Structures are given as structure tokens and as C-alpha cells.
Structure 1
Amino acid sequence: MTENTAIQEFSTHLRGKLIQLGDPEYDEARKVYNGMIDKRPQFIVRCVDVADVMQAVNFARDQKLLLAVRGGGHSVPGMGTSEGGLVIDLSLMNGIRVDPDEKTVRVEGGCTWGAVDHATHAFGMATTGGVIASTGVGGLTLGGGSGYLTRKHGLSIDNLLEADMVLADGSYVTVNEKSHEDLFWAVRGGGGNFGVVTSFLFKLHPVSIDYAGPMLWSLDQIKPVMQWYREFALAAPEDLYGFFAFLQVPPGAPFPEEYHNQKMGGVLWCYLGDPDKADKVFDPIRNLTPKPAIDLVGPIPHPALQSMFDPLYPPGEQWYIKADFINEIPDEAIDLHIKYARELPTPTSGMHLYPIDGAAHKVKKDATAWSFREANWSQVIIGVDPDPANKEKITDWVRAYHEAIHPYSAGGAYINFLMDEGDERIRATYRENYDRLAEIKQKYDPTNLFRINQNIKPVAMA
């Protein structure tokens, strides 16, 4: 069979669309969230159902094509595309079904968290799903998934009940605690190494109106606040979540005009407890010395909180990030954080410390692929700018910041916050779980077809 014949036959077996290099819609179809990523796959398959995914996996394997899988396309290192290969684009597979009696939601692999939040909010429920609504469900979940609900309800993987998958041999399986238990263990934190997840089943929790929002302080006052935060955040009830951030205040509502474009530090809070007790919970925070310069905490629908950052981070901007897990925040680290906060290179660059304690700590480190169950925060340093001319500016700042602060880390990092940093960094993240992951990879993907990810190599290739 000639190459053209194989492509034609492949196309006729798809319900979705096969987009090739040179097609009119190709340049738009190949775009991913990070504008710094500029790859040109040979084929993009916009799948509409599981059968399309099976066809695409078989074609890529048989034609020895470099295979990438794109859900929301948010992967900062560009794991949702490939140079000269084939991209399985799941964006048209975006069905969602809420079961209010069972308190679950079935989510197809191309969904974003904004779509899920919209669907579940109608029933007064939610599950853990990041902090940017345009993030894809698939990538975030397979890497672990932290967000506003983590301290109360655990990581996304702690709420995952089962997943439907297409494997490297083109077969279709459902994985859960009773079926393909080894694979179910691996996909909870092991990334996209083991197949294409076409749907997820999550448990839901009563979440509707949060008491949430940012409190910000000037950098001149932030050191005692950060010293207070490092103790308070870990001792707070699980109903209260707050991630620490350094940022430049956006020049618009609802931020007071006198603080527009100022570099500040603070906490973005989310309280999930009794609304009648919210003011009492926040009284000691509001009466800190120094008091917050900006206090925008109040009742807000959960989907509105989830999408709060979306306008600041539209698709196509330049991104570069570095990350670490954090156990403690000593004074020396605080001084370094403040130093680099003063040097924020662009308006949307910053640093976030996401809590991953509380309910996430109650799961044993070998119960899922996520190894760092004892870590208290997932830290990420982000360089962002719309102008490609600032690529080096944001990259240099992120690297310098990370090099300075990394000695105070726990080692390893949230897999979704890693760039292309090599095998040792991946091993440091999975630690003692890595060898088990490599054995499962050998069983289900011995030729490493699914390698456009933070790759766990099969045992035979290690």
C-alpha cells in the first residue's frame, strides 16, 4: 500500500476530520496555548468519538509517526503537539453528563474545566479542577490535578473513579479499582504515558457559592505576611484554601486604581465552609498587622472563581515556567522570593504557592502515582508575555529565580509544571513510584508510542 493510499484509507474510516500540512485550516489547527511552541505536525486528527481515536492510534503506530495527544492544549512545554508527526485532537469530544443521584460527572477527554464547572454548578456541585477554567481536564487530571478544592476534597486524581482509555495496541479498556487496577493506579499522576483517555468519571462534592478572592499587600510589607502565611496555611481548617502569589496588579476593575500595575504579594482565598461563619473566619486575617491594602474577598459562584484568571492568560502568549514541591518556607527563602518579585519582568509573570496538604495528605504516597504526598505546596514560577521579543527576558528571569530558590525545595515538582527537563527530573518527581510506573509502561506501551509527555520509558528501553 502506498503512503497516499494509506492516508486515504485512514481518512475514510474517520467520522472526524483529518487535517494535513498545507490544508487551509492547518495553521489554526496546529496552534497550542503556549505561543512559544511552534511545531508543525504532518497530521491533525479532530476526533469525534472513541472509534476515531482507535483509528488514529493504529495509524500512528503502523506508520511509525510521532504521536501526540491534545486535550485542552494548555501544556506549557508543548506536549499536545509533535514535529512532523500526528496529533490526536480531542477538542470535539467534549460531552459532559452529571448524575445528581450518584454525585458523579462523566467528562469526555476534550473538555475544559470551565465546561465541567458550568455543568456541575447547575446541580450545586464541583470537583477539584485547577485555577484556570480554559485548562483541559485530561492533562491536568493525568498529572495529578490541584486546585481550590484540594485541601477539602483532595487532588483531581483522588476524585477520579474510573477512566475509559484507548491503548497503544488500539484496544479500548475501562480502568478503575476493579478493572486494570495497575493501569488505574498509573494514570492517577503518571501523565499521558499509558494511552488516550477518552472519558473520566469523577465524584462530586457540594460546592456552589464560595467565599473567595484576593488579599494583597505591598512588597515592602509582604515579609511578615509571608512568615504568618507559612504557619497559618498549614494549621487552617480544610474548608479554607489560600494560595500565595506575587503578581503585578491588573490595570482595571475590580482593583483600586491607585494600585494598578503595582508589584504586590498576597493570597487568593477560597472558603468552602458555612457562609454564616465566613466573616468570623476572615476577621483575624483582615486584622493582621499589616492589614491588606486590597481585600476583594466575598461571595462568588464557584465557576466565576475558577475562571478569574482566564482574561489575564489568553491563548497564544509566550510562557516559560519552573517548579518545585515545597515543605517549608524559611526566612532565607522569603527574602529571595521578595527579591525576584521586585524584578517581575512582565505584567503577567509571577510566582504561585499552591497548597497540597489537607485531604491530599490523607492518601498514601504509594496509593497513586503521585509520590509527594507529604509536600505542603506546589510552587511554580511563571514568565508570561504576549510579545515573542520578550521570550529571553521571561525565560532568564524564571531560570534565575528557580536556581536561587530551588535549594529550599523538597526535590521533584508537580509533573504538569515541568518543562523539558530530562529523565532525572522526572525520576525525582516520581521517586520510589517510578520503577512501578516503568513496569506498567512496559506492559501497556512496550514500544513507547506515547512518549510526547514527561516520559516514563518502558523497562526494556530504560
Structure 2
Amino acid sequence: MLVAMILIRPGEPGYDEARRVWNGMVDRRPRLIARCATDADVAAAVRLARERDLELGVRCGGHNAVGFAVPEDGLMIDLRGMDGVSVDREWSTARVGGGALLGALDAATQPYGLATTAGNVSHTGVGGLTLGGGMGWLARAHGLACDNVLSYRVVTADGTVVTASRDEHPDLFWGLRGGGGNFGVVTEFEFRLHPVGTRALSAEYTFDPSADVLRAWRDISRSAPRQATFDASFRDGDTLVVGFVWVGDPDAGRALTSELNALGTPRSAVVRELSYLDLQTRDDTVQKHAIRRYSAGHYLPELTDAAIDAFLTVEDGFVPNQGLQAYGGAIADVPDDDAAFGFRGTEFEYGAGMSWTDPAEDPDRIADARRTAAHLAPHAAGVYVNMLADEGAAGVRRAYPPAKLARLTALKDVYDPDNVFHLNQNIRPTSRPDYANSTPASSTGP
């Protein structure tokens, strides 16, 4: 196979742009950056890293909070040249390159009124989101992103290119659906698409902090149609925002607003129709690049009254923004043993996040997020693997129940026994149980 990858070294044009990722805390310097355009390029880059004993990182959208894509003095595979999206309207499927962003997927499918679950921020990479599971506004109606993958094309640790589906390498197909980047570099995804139309409805009601309001909002969410995803946030310790997002005919979603109107007298109420594409990009500015970030989270099997009280707890000092997003629906329909993704019985996902610009604040802001998330820990069971930061092996044990972690470890033994792909939320093979660290070595960044 013809290899045409471009190797970029420190100081060369494009080097600094390629190594910059979403989290401004990450400032590492790979020895080599391999810009890849084909499967053969990726396979050659994997072999090169192994021959030179270089740590290997894989860049798609660069949204991982720890910056696993950027290995200090290692080799970074840059997949952004493999960003094509092709739609088969007749079969309602899309083939998506491993370096594509969610916005490209949405832009290609929406002219036909089609979409698949694709996160909430358009500049997120399809690869990282999907390999960790892939939550989004369509998940309650149509399943997680990983539930909609029909096949993966993968470059494995020995440079072999394989296809994983229910019929080919079904064990690998199982592991890629939630097991992260532990088993290879995915160069193409084939997705199932759904006829969702092009319109959406967003409802946001702002209140003073109130456990009664949040409990009533929770109760409404429990009986809401699957097209609705209820979400809430607690901002700056003094502002509670509750509401939902509805994908589809906005008039059909407006029935839920009458129930929210009964919650009390809000500071403000904003109910607006928007296109699905606008919905998918509305948080892009808030989640822009180059800001320093840290977050911590949990899965809540039930949003109990006690959990709500913990959510609204405020301590002195900086207060992270906290959020809740409803699960259930099609997410819970999938049998638990069907994929590596776990905790499908989750009622809400919880997150606490901080963003700032001054590097001197790093230790305090990280501590703030951890401390705030700890309030919900007694009510939690598990965590979304894409929410994990620098928790290491302890975080991985939270993300996967013991039986799934054992199965993932056995899969790792088959496809990556030397742990070549360890810059991730690492599933350690039995041959390397004491691997030193899954975080890229660096004095800068999380």
C-alpha cells in the first residue's frame, strides 16, 4: 500500500497548530506528528512508533480533557486529514472518517432530514465521542452514538487493518462500543441514520435555587416522551436553570412547556424554535478552545431528593457550574451485555466543570471541581468514561462494572497485549498490569 503520511517535527510549519488541543492546560511537545490521509498512513505511523519505542497518541477532535492525543516526546497520529463524510440516503447510513468532527456529520446528513446521535458541541471529534459511548440530544430516542455504529474500520497494534461489525470480529465490535481507544485506531465509522427532520425546540426556565423546583422538574422528566431530553444546571451557586431539548416538530414539544410553567414564577423563561444544526452548534462558543478546563462527574442511578439537596449545596470559594442530563429511553433499551458501555440504567448524568485562563489557578480550580462533585458521590454508581480526567485506574474501575472490565481486559490481551494504545482511559492487559501511567508524561497540563 502506498504511504503518503507527512511527518512534522518541532519547529516546522504546522507543528504548533497540530499539537494544540481543546483544553488550554495541555501544552506538550511530541517528537513527531504524523499527518495521515489513509489507512496505510496510520498503519505506518503505528509501526514507526513501535520501532522507535515512542509513546503513541491519536488526535481526532482533540477534546479529551487530559490531552491524551498529545504525547510528550512521543508520536502523535493526526487523523484530521481523514475527515470525509458520505451519506447513503437510500439505506440511511453514513460513512465517517476517523478524523471528522460532529459538525461535519450533521452538515452532511441534515439536507436529507437525517441524523444520528452526535454530542452537543460541533467541534468535538466523532471518534472520541463514539468510542466512549456517545451521549447527545438524540440518545433517548435513538440510542447512543455507539449503538448506531454498524461497522468500524480499525488499524490494530500490529498495523493490521480489520473491519469490526456484528459479523466480523464481533468481539472487537463489542469492545469498541464504549471501550474507548484501547484496541486500535478507528479510521472509519459506518453509522445508522434516523429521520429526525431539521427542527428542534429548546426550553430554559431560570429560577432562584430551589429544591422544590428541581424535584418537580425531575418528576416531569420521568414521564416525558423520548424525543425530549431534560437538562438542568446550577450556575455560580445562585442560579438554577431547568428545561429540555426536543428534536422534531416543535409544536409537539410545546405540550411539555405547560408542565414547566407550573413549576413557579421563574426569573426568565426562554422557549425557542431552532434548526437542528443550530441546536448542535449553540454551545460551541461556550466550549471554545484554548481555555483551561477541568471537570468531574458521576452517573446517578436515581435523582433522589437527597441527591438534589447535594446538587444545590454551596460552599465558600469558587463554585463550579454543575449540570444534569437525563438518560433512559433507547439508551436503557439496549441489553447490558450488548456492548462495553455500561450503566444503562442511569437516570441522570451529573457533571461539575471549571474553566479559567490563569495557569496559577490550576490547583485551586481542579480542587474546586473535585470537591463539588464529591457531594454527589454517595448517590452515584459509575461514571461516563468520556467524563473522566486524570483519575487513572480508579476512574476506569468506576467507568466499567467488574464483569465488563474483565471482558475488556481479555479483549486487550488479544488485540493489544503490549499496551501500545495506553494514552487513554486505559484497559491494561494482563501482561502489563503495573503500567506506570496512562497520562502523557509532562510537567505541563493535567
* Same fold by TM-score greater than 0.5: yes
Structure 1 contact 356–376 (Cα < 8 Å) conserved: yes
CA separation in 2, counterparts of 1:319 and 1:188? 27
* Equivalent of 1:185 in 174, 177, 186: 174
Structure 1 contact 212–271 (Cα < 8 Å) conserved: yes
**Counterpart in the other structure of 1:150:** 139
CA separation in 2, counterparts of 1:289 and 1:235? 16
* Equivalent of 2:193 in 201, 204, 208: 204
Secondary structure in 1 matching 2:201: strand
Secondary structure in 2 matching 1:296: strand
* Equivalent of 2:224 in 232, 236, 241: 236
Count of equivalent residues: 431
1:403 to 1:82, Cα distance in 2 relative to 1, 3 A: same
* Equivalent of 2:393 in 423, 436, 439: 423
Post-superposition shift, 1:123? 0.9
2:260 aligned with 1:264 = no
Post-superposition shift, 1:356? 1.9
CA separation in 1, counterparts of 2:113 and 2:281? 17
**Counterpart in the other structure of 1:382:** 353
Structure 1 contact 219–342 (Cα < 8 Å) conserved: no
Name the TM-score, length of structure 2 as normaliser.
Answer: 0.92
2:337 aligned with 1:366 = yes
**Counterpart in the other structure of 1:400:** 371
CA separation in 1, counterparts of 2:131 and 2:253? 33
- Counterpart amino acid of 1:117? D
User: Which ranges of structure 2 fall in alignment gaps of 5 or more residues?
Assistant: 434-446
Post-superposition shift, 1:299? 1.8
1:101 to 1:196, Cα distance in 2 relative to 1, 3 A: same
Post-superposition shift, 1:389? 3.5
Post-superposition shift, 1:31? 0.9
Which structure dedicates a bigger proportion of its chain to helix? 1
Secondary structure in 2 matching 1:80: coil
**Counterpart in the other structure of 2:256:** 281
Could you list the per-position Cα deviations for residues 64-99 of structure 1 after superposition, in whole angstroms to 9, with x for gaps in the alignment? 110011100000011111111100011111100011
Name the TM-score, length of structure 1 as normaliser.
Answer: 0.89
Post-superposition shift, 1:401? 0.3
Structure 1 contact 245–268 (Cα < 8 Å) conserved: no
* Equivalent of 2:417 in 438, 446, 450: 446
1:30 to 1:50, Cα distance in 2 relative to 1, 3 A: same
Post-superposition shift, 1:213? 2.1
Secondary structure in 2 matching 1:292: coil
- Counterpart amino acid of 2:278? A
2:314 aligned with 1:340 = yes
Could you list the per-position Cα deviations for residues 426-446 of structure 1 after superposition, in whole angstroms to 9, with x for gaps in the alignment? 123211201111111110111
Structure 2 contact 216–263 (Cα < 8 Å) conserved: no
- Counterpart amino acid of 1:238? R
- Counterpart amino acid of 1:419? A
Structure 2 contact 33–76 (Cα < 8 Å) conserved: yes
1:386 to 1:284, Cα distance in 2 relative to 1, 3 A: same
**Counterpart in the other structure of 1:352:** 323
CA separation in 1, counterparts of 2:314 and 2:425? 28
2:84 aligned with 1:84 = no
* Equivalent of 1:120 in 96, 106, 109: 109
User: Which ranges of structure 1 fall in alignment gaps of 5 or more residues?
Assistant: 1-12, 249-261
CA separation in 2, counterparts of 1:76 and 1:101? 38
2:4 aligned with 1:15 = yes
Q: Which stretches of structure 1, 4 residues or more, deviate above 4 A after TM superposition? A: 341-345
Could you list the per-position Cα deviations for residues 129-180 of structure 1 after superposition, in whole angstroms to 9, with x for gaps in the alignment? 1111111000000000001111101111111111101000101011100000
1:301-316 matches, cutoff 5 A: 301-316=275-290
* Equivalent of 2:268 in 277, 280, 294: 294
**Counterpart in the other structure of 1:251:** none
Between 20-29 and 173-182, the greater mean CA deviation after superposition: 20-29
**Counterpart in the other structure of 1:108:** 97
CA separation in 2, counterparts of 1:302 and 1:386? 31
1:274 to 1:210, Cα distance in 2 relative to 1, 3 A: closer
- Counterpart amino acid of 2:295? I
Secondary structure in 2 matching 1:310: coil
1:31-110 matches, cutoff 5 A: 31-110=20-99
2:123 aligned with 1:137 = no
Of all paired residues, the percent bearing the same amino acid is 38
